[in-house]
Chain A
Amino acid sequence: MALFSAFQTTFLLALLSLKTYQSEVLSEPLSLAPESLEVSIDSARQCLHLKWSVHNLAYHQELKMVFQIEISRIKTSNVIWVENYSTTVKRNQVLRWSWESKLPLECAKHSVRMRGAVDDAQVPELRFWSNWTSWEEVDVQSSLGHDPLFVFPKDKLVEEGSNVTICYVSRSHQNNISCYLEGVRMHGEQLDPNVCVFHLKNVPFIRETGTNIYCKADQGDVIKGIVLFVSIFEEPKDFSCETRDLKTLNCTWAPGSDAGLLTQLSQSYTLFESFSGKKTLCKYKSWCNWQVSPDSQEMYNFTLTAENYLRKRSVHLLFNLTHRVHPMAPFNVFVKNVSATNATMTWKVHSIGNYSTLLCQIELYGEGKVIQKQNVSVKVNGKHLMKKLEPSTEYAAQVRCANANHFWKWSEWTRRNFTTAEAAPSEAPDVWRNVKSVQGHCVVTLFWKPLSKLQANGKILFYNVVLENLDRPSTLKLLSIPAPANGTELTLDRCSYQIHVTANNSVGTSPASVIAVSGDPGNKEVEEERVKGTEDGFCLSWKPQPGDVTGYVVEWCERPGDPLCDLQWKNLGPNTTSTVVSSDAFRPGVRYNFRIYGISTERIPYLLEKKTGYSQELVPSDNPQVLMSNLTSYSFTLSWKDYAAESQPGFVQGYSLYLKSKAARCLPGSEKAVLSDDSICCKYKIDNPKQKTFVVENLQPASFYEFFLTPYTSVGEGPQGAFTKVTTPDEYSHILIRIILPMIFSILLIMILCYLKSQWMKEKCYPDIPDPYKSSVLSLIKSKENPRLTIMNVKDCIPDAIEVINKQEGTRKSLTETEPTKPTYLYLLPTEKSHSGPGPCICFENFTYNQAASDSVSCGHVPVTPKAQPSQLGLLTSSENVPKALGKNYVNSLGEIPAGETNLNYVSQLASPMCGDKSSLPTNPPEPALCSEYKTQMAIPMGLASPPSITLLDEGEHDH
């Protein structure tokens, strides 16, 4: 009973409850209105955030509702935005909605109201709008502060090309505000008296520090501004996806440019597949992995979205999975069954589906180059036989695969290296010899070139040299020389030998190379011929040999100065008569000697020709030491016999001699040349390289010359060196030496002789009393045949006075001696009264000695002292006595006088007491004022002869 009553009570309560609910819904259909509407502002994002709830919902009830939101600006009637927002609403759930304003919220007052309606099929009867909420006003301006001017939005970050709205809010009505974008004034739309709005369209990126926008009042120090940061954000590029194992897709892309800001904004990349509706956030900026669904989805449509703070960028990609298979690299790759010429390559591939086939590509590399290329279709296991390989050669084989049905990409290569097996050497070694004769033996040095890789077919282990004595054919001698020797020396007797050389590797022996050595070395004299080398080498040619020649060999040394020489040779066929020898070892300025041998049918080489030349001639490296000899006034000889022209880096073609002199013109045989130091000199060219002497001729005596000799090759002259100085001797110097010296010697000898025979000489040459007959005057007189002039003989003189001279032997008085010798006179003739007092005196000259003086006017050098006058006058006073004393002589003399002059008397000059005594003459001091001279012996008439003498001579004067 109790149980029944309890159940009844519960039922009634439930019924009541249901009734209450129904009554509520039905009676108050407007109660599902948004309530507690709150509006907040996000200035930075220019967003209005709305928050409300619906209270009148039952517990646990969920209804779909639509809310209509109205936003008005400045005044409520100016509705700028209406939007219906649908959502599912629970009881007391706080609902949120945001709206981003184009206009900065600070620029104008905004008002928001909303109403709601049930939009749920379950409750179709409730689908009507509730009442509007009251307007919720959002006025940021009131909270801005007291600054006179504001500019909004503050430091906004926008994408390049977007539209931006800017405004200023002024607190003063009077001030005119002007705004500038990057210094250019903007014109805006006055929203209200204090607010002006500027719409910027398609904003460009200008600089990283942002675009400056500022406003200033006309009056006062008011300036406000903002910086608009413009960013560039591009979509990702090269978006691509592929799979390697059909399990994972790997998508890659190149991020687009994201620049224009001082600080980079963080980006995110999202991969969305539309068929499966799956989405994944990529961890990396350029790639992302996607798990392939196991439900064998073939088609994929991907959207890659790049997103930063400002916006999103997307790219799309649609593909079939099997068309994007990038196979894994082949594995288990082996090279098997490697012989000398063949090898087999095997590999495995990762399956890319049950029915798919892979196309594999095999490449064979030899010495870094592809030598074989082959394509093979493979399911799982691959196999390929490589043929035509070289023995003992390293190869590399590589394989890669791709989807044969839908080619997308090759896999990576898988590579294996292998070496083919060895084979016997295929060619005989190239052998040459050098034969020397040492102490009656024949020393043969054998050389051979190592076989090339292709010829050797493996590693050469040793060389076999078999000596076959041709004189004794049964005698064989075997020498085994281990590799890598490239020659050997053999000492043989004078017999002829044939030498067989073979190369051996681990597999077998090469064909033999045969060379013969004869007992006769046969080194005949062959003239050397010059050959000109070029950059390509030496072009050598020779005369074809009559008879059987099996070939030719050209031999040369690559290092001619080196004792080891580095002998090289070149084998040539029997029909060849020329070849070009080239080598990297050839150096300019080095002289190379080539020998050309002919090979006889007996394999014996014999010398045919010799050639010598330079690959490139150079100028001479040094100049000769020049010796100078035979220096004369007009020439000198130069010689440089020690100069080694052969060791020069070129064929010396001659010599140039430079001669410097002060003469402006060059001598014959030379020409003017300008030296490197711009000095000018004369150049002699000596064309003959064998000429080692040169005579420089036609020089000037006592002149200074400088010479310099240098050889020249076809390239040019030797180095500029120092000039040697030479001065030619004086023209007469040799005469001086040859003549003057003997003369001096002779004079000295004569002087010595004279000294020794001085007495004899005195008597002979200058006796005290000279002999007039020996005088030259005599001959002169005779030649003129002057009859009036004769020589007075001493014997004819009648002495009238004797002078006693006290003269010391050996002393002589000079003319200037002042102390006169006082002569003592003995008067032999009667004297007259001496003439006293000063008066003219008469001076006698012995004209015997001075005929020439007869024409002279003066007689000063024979003065007559007054002291001498008495005696002289004494002699002349008696004119009558004169003819007596001299009559005989004069008669004789007159006989010789021509007839026309016979009426003339001769006034004799008496022999003076000093006649013959020259030394007494100068004792009289010169007193020319007192003297009148009697100079000329002349013919005077008889009547006139004496009076003047008497007049002149006064006796009184003789009294002294």
Chain B
Amino acid sequence: MDLRAGDSWGMLACLCAVLWHLPAVPALNRTGDPGPGPSIQKTYDLTRYLEHQLRSLAGTYLNYLGPPFNEPDFNPPRLGAETLPRATVNLDVWRSLNDKLRLTQNYEAYSHLLCYLRGLDRQAATAELRRSLAHFCTSLQGLLGSIAGVMAALGYPLPQPLPGAEPTRAPGPAHGDFLQKMDDFWLLKELQTWLWRSAKDFNRLKKKTQPPPAAVTLHLEAHGF
């Protein structure tokens, strides 16, 4: 294609005109309160991202623990991990929960899981693993903040942490190193289940709060052409 100087000037003029009229495009000029929709979407996206991130982290960490924890069919009983918040819940019970309860449970669960996870981070031996864990902790902290944002947007109060009930990771030797590894295994497993559950929760919430789809028309007025 042969572009002549004349064509270039035309294109430039067209571009300038589009830029000039850009502030007038309604879809790009929203100033009103967007509602909880975007923050729910953001939380949902973050949850999916954490799910993906955890998949890689769990693989590394379970290899670090060694077999049988890294075996795909290893499914030990939940011994000693009773303090971990359970993600599994009866379907009917789950359905009967309202949004506020669901969000509260999510928030509380991740608060607890984050504390355990930080304990894991402190004990990790290799620098690479520590980095991965620290990165995941930061992401999880972000998810907590995001959930808090959604709750605030919906007008729900944040659950107050019980004084002195800060969960901590039990120290190794007294507890037994094997049991400690089981706890770590369960921590990762619960995290996985929680993230899966949260994704469903936020998806549900998203659908519920989403306004009917309004067509946004990008109306460009190009004068002078």
Contact = CB atoms under 8 A, between A and B. Distances in A.
Contacts of B181: 209, 212, 225, 227
A208 interface: yes
A630 B69 CA distance: 96
A227 B77 contact: no
B161 interface: no
A546 B177 CA distance: 105
Interface string B78-91: 01000000000000
A210 B79 contact: no
Interface string A216-227: 000001111111
Interface in B171-201: 173, 176-178, 181-182
A212 B176 contact: no
B125 A212 contact: no
Contact of B173 (A155, A183, A211, A225): A155
B66 A212 contact: yes
B76 interface: yes
A211 B67 CA distance: 9
Interface in B52-97: 64-69, 71, 76-77, 79
Contacts of A214: 68, 178
Interface in B151-185: 173, 176-178, 181-182
A223 B173 CA distance: 18
Nearest to A210: B177
Size category of the A interface is 20 to 34
Interface string B116-142: 000000010100000000000000000
Contacts of B69: 212
Contact of A155 (B64, B65, B123, B177): B177
A151 B66 CA distance: 18
B57 to A, nearest CB: 16
B125 A226 contact: no
A24 interface: no
A151 B69 CA distance: 17
A406 interface: no
A209 B76 contact: no
A226 B178 contact: yes
Contact of A154 (B66, B125, B176): B176
A222 B178 CA distance: 14
Interface in A532-588: none
Contact of A209 (B77, B125, B173): B125
Contact of B125 (A208, A223, A224, A227): A208
A214 B77 CA distance: 13
A155 B178 contact: yes
Contact of A226 (B66, B77, B123, B177): B177
Nearest to A181: B67
A612 to B, nearest CB: 50
A182 B77 contact: no
Contacts of B66: 182, 206-207, 209-212
A262 interface: yes
Contacts of B77: 221-223
Nearest to B180: A227
A386 to B, nearest CB: 57
Contacts of B64: 207, 209
A183 B178 contact: no
A182 B65 CA distance: 10
B19 to A, nearest CB: 35
B177 A182 contact: no
Nearest to A222: B77
Q: Secondary structure at chain B's binding surface: helix, strand, loop or mixed?
A: loop
B74 to A, nearest CB: 9
B71 A183 contact: yes
Given A155-B173, A208-B125, A223-B77, A180 B68 contact: yes
A182 B181 CA distance: 14
B173 A212 contact: no
Nearest to B78: A221
A77 B125 CA distance: 48
A221 B123 CA distance: 28
A229 to B, nearest CB: 8
Interface in A219-258: 221-227, 229
Interface in A788-804: none
Contacts of A223: 76-77, 79
B192 to A, nearest CB: 20
A737 to B, nearest CB: 37
Interface in A382-423: none
A262 B125 contact: yes
Contacts of A210: 66, 177
A262 to B, nearest CB: 5
Interface string A172-208: 0000000010110000000000000000000000111
Nearest to A147: B79
Contacts of A262: 123, 125
B48 to A, nearest CB: 30
A200 to B, nearest CB: 15
Contacts of A221: 76-77
A589 B178 CA distance: 79
Contacts of B182: 225
Contacts of A155: 173, 176-178
Most A CB atoms within 10 A — which of B67, B77, B79, B177?
Answer: B177
A227 B79 contact: no
Contacts of B178: 151, 155, 212, 214, 224-227
Contacts of A226: 176-178
B129 to A, nearest CB: 10
Contacts of A209: 64-66, 125, 181
Contacts of B177: 155, 210, 226-227, 229
A217 to B, nearest CB: 11
A224 B76 CA distance: 9
Contacts of B123: 262
A222 B77 CA distance: 7
A180 B173 CA distance: 21
A211 B65 CA distance: 9
Nearest to A229: B177
In this complex, the member of A210, A222, A225 whose beta carbon has the largest number of chain B beta carbons within 10 angstroms is A225
A638 B64 CA distance: 83
Nearest to A207: B66
A183 B65 contact: no
Contacts of A183: 67-68, 71
A212 B66 CA distance: 7
A228 to B, nearest CB: 9
A518 B174 CA distance: 109
A730 B25 CA distance: 60
Interface centre among A154, A209, A224 (most CB of B within 10 A): A209
Interface in B198-217: none
A797 to B, nearest CB: 80
A777 B69 CA distance: 134
Interface in B33-59: none
A229 B178 CA distance: 11
A155 B172 CA distance: 10
A274 B178 CA distance: 46
Nearest to B71: A183
A227 B175 CA distance: 12
A335 B125 CA distance: 59
A212 B76 contact: no
Contacts of A180: 67-68
Nearest to B69: A212
Task: Please name the 5 residue pairs, one residue from A and one from B, whose CB atoms are nearest each other, closest first.
Answer: A183-B67, A221-B77, A225-B178, A227-B177, A155-B177
Given A214-B178, A223-B76, A227-B181, 11 more contacts: A151-B178, A155-B176, A155-B177, A183-B68, A208-B125, A209-B65, A209-B181, A223-B77, A227-B178, A229-B177, A262-B123
Interface of B: 64-69, 71, 76-77, 79, 123, 125, 173, 176-178, 181-182
19 contacts: A151-B178, A182-B66, A183-B68, A209-B64, A209-B181, A212-B66, A212-B178, A214-B178, A221-B76, A223-B76, A223-B79, A224-B178, A225-B178, A225-B182, A226-B176, A226-B177, A227-B177, A229-B177, A262-B123
